[in-house]
Amino acid sequence: MIAVFVNMGTVLVGSLLGILLRNRLRQSLQDALMKALGLCTVLIGISSAIGTADVLCIIICMVIGTALGEWLRIDDGIEHAGDWIKAKLFKTGGSENRFTEGFVSACILFCIGSMTIVGSLEAGINHNYSIIYAKSTLDFVSSMAFGAAMGFGVTCSVLFILLFQGGLTLLSGLLAPVLSTATVTEMSAVGGVILIGMAINMLGLSKERIKVANMLPAIFLPIAYFPIAALLSGILH
């Protein structure tokens, strides 16, 4: 878990530095930074998604996972958590107009992707923290830019890092028997597709905001996909 706390620390410090600097940045520059981050997120998502060796797995997992997330209303839950934290921290309203948006966006960005999944599994199973440490360095830079553009909501995303990344690290020992290389690859690829959805939101390319948090269950469905696919293949052949 030490790597998770290091990752939380880099996001915490980076976002606070960004918030301190943002008053010196004109609004047009902050908006330009958000567009640049959106494009970088597209790149990160594509680099993870193209690693897939089973497109059918991605499609099935995304469809079922999104349906499950819509039923559980995960996106609404994360937004409500952001609103609740904002209400507790800024009882007089404050100027944090983008608090919830920053909270949700940062939660997805810092917790979804190949480095999060592979790094957490490596940390939990093999006690290899190198991937999470590398991710922490990247997150430090990203959190500065996000903090400058979106404010304190980005800082509060460290709570979700603890919950998601910490939970995945702790559970990795139990999941190890079912986590083949193919499974981890497709989990990362699904995460990449979700990141592309978030990038579309950041760039304002969709008329309605894509509820990317509702897609989160899809990340774990490759764990079930491969055994079921093998079973069906044995029956049909």
Give residue-wise pLDDT tens across range 140-154: 888 888 888 888 888
Axis crossing angle, helix 158-175 with helix 99-111, rounded to the nearest 10: 30
> 149: closest CA among 99, 199, 200?
99
CA–CA gap between residue 185 and residue 175 (Å, rounded): 15
Q: What b/e string do you get for 63-79 counting C-beta neighbours within 10 Å, with b at 16 or more?
A: eebbebbeeeebbeebb
Q: What is the pLDDT of residue 96?
A: 58
CA–CA gap between residue 66 and residue 45 (Å, rounded): 17
Most confident of 60-64, 76-80, 200-204, 225-229: 60-64
Q: What is the pLDDT of residue 19?
A: 87
Structure tokens at 42: 């597209």
Q: Higher confidence at residue 131 or residue 54?
A: 54
pTM greater than the 0.85 cutoff: no
Q: What is the pLDDT of residue 204?
A: 85
Give domain limits for the chain: 2-230
Q: What is the pLDDT of residue 237?
A: 67
> What is the rounded average pLDDT for all residues in the chain?
84
Q: What is the rounded average pLDDT of the residues 30-37?
A: 78
pLDDT at residue 94 tops 60: no
> 188: closest CA among 78, 135, 112?
112
Give residue-wise pLDDT tens across range 152-185: 888 888 988 898 888 888 887 777 777 788 888 8
pLDDT at residue 90 tops 70: no
Q: What is the pLDDT of residue 130?
A: 84
Q: Higher confidence at residue 213 or residue 1?
A: 213
Give residue-wise pLDDT tens across range 47-69: 888 989 999 999 999 999 999 99
Q: Residue with structure tokens 């910490």?
A: 166
